[in-house]
Amino acid sequence: MTAEHTLSFDEDKHAYRLDGRPIPSVTTILQSAGIVDYRFVKKEDREFYLTRGSYIHTATQYLDEGDLNLEDLDPEIRGYVEGYVKFKKDTGFTPTMIEFRSFNASLWYAGTLDRVGMLNGNRVIVDFKSGTVAKWVELQTLGGYAQMTGVGPVTAGYGLELKADGTYNLSEPFTHFTEAARVFSAAVIIERWKNG
């Protein structure tokens, strides 16, 4: 963060505040603009998936920080984390930023990047999914996350699908920075108009 701004995050409400004021997240903006739509998922199922995703994120964070024993993990999430271990082993991916929270004060949004790191000699953003990587992940990684304070230059974004059976699917690289930034900026305007 910069000295002139303070970003806070409420885990329970999954809500960000910048300098004490509510600030929408990257995903909230994409949902408000109709780009991400979870209405077809039953509320109780959505809660289950969100909770599972949160556990996966925490476990992979501990793994990358060298503070996780895979054998101690709940079997419900162990396979997903093993998929991440396999991805790192197969590709040589080395994280340099882990669960990095930041913001874009001029467009007024915040978010948490899963990982920024080195892949095949390139600095990239990798976003974890426990389901299929959708087209909108390009907007999330390049349009939203790549434009946040402190992220720095990256060459591509990726969606990484982690699977319960200990495997993974890595998306093709997302590289359409200009288009993703343009579409995401339009989504910010839509979100602001709807909720401002």
CATH number of the domain at 68, please. 3.90.320
Residue 120 placed within a domain: yes
Q: In what order do the strands lie in the sheet with 7-10?
A: 7-10, 15-18, 21-23
Q: How much of the chain exceeds pLDDT 90, in percent?
A: 82
Most confident of 14-18, 52-56, 165-169: 165-169
Higher pLDDT, 47 or 85: 85
Residue 53 placed within a domain: yes
Confidence of residue 41 (pLDDT cuts 50, 70, 90): low
Written as six digits, the tokens of 42 are 């039953």
pLDDT, one tens digit per residue, over 68-82 is 998 999 999 999 999
**Residue in 157, 155, 183 with CA at minimum distance from that of residue 172:** 157
The yes-or-no verdict on residue 39 having pLDDT over 80 is no
Residue 123 placed within a domain: yes
Domain that holds residue 24: 7-195
The yes-or-no verdict on residue 90 having pLDDT over 60 is yes
Higher pLDDT, 26 or 43: 26
pLDDT, one tens digit per residue, over 111-156 is 999 999 999 999 999 999 998 999 999 999 999 999 999 999 999 9
Higher pLDDT, 46 or 120: 120
**Residue in 79, 75, 88 with CA at minimum distance from that of residue 115:** 88
Residue 56 placed within a domain: yes
Residue 1 placed within a domain: no
Confidence of residue 1 (pLDDT cuts 50, 70, 90): very low
Residue 141 DSSP class: I
Higher pLDDT, 86 or 53: 86
Residue 149 placed within a domain: yes
Residue 2 placed within a domain: no
Q: How confident is the model at residue 40, as a pLDDT?
A: 67
Domain count of the fold of the chain: 1
Do the Cβ atoms of 126 and 119 come closer than 8 Å? yes
What whole-number distance in Å separates Cα of residue 70 and Cα of residue 142?
31
**Residue in 13, 47, 40 with CA at minimum distance from that of residue 28:** 13
Residue 67 placed within a domain: yes
The yes-or-no verdict on residue 100 having pLDDT over 70 is yes
Confidence of residue 3 (pLDDT cuts 50, 70, 90): low
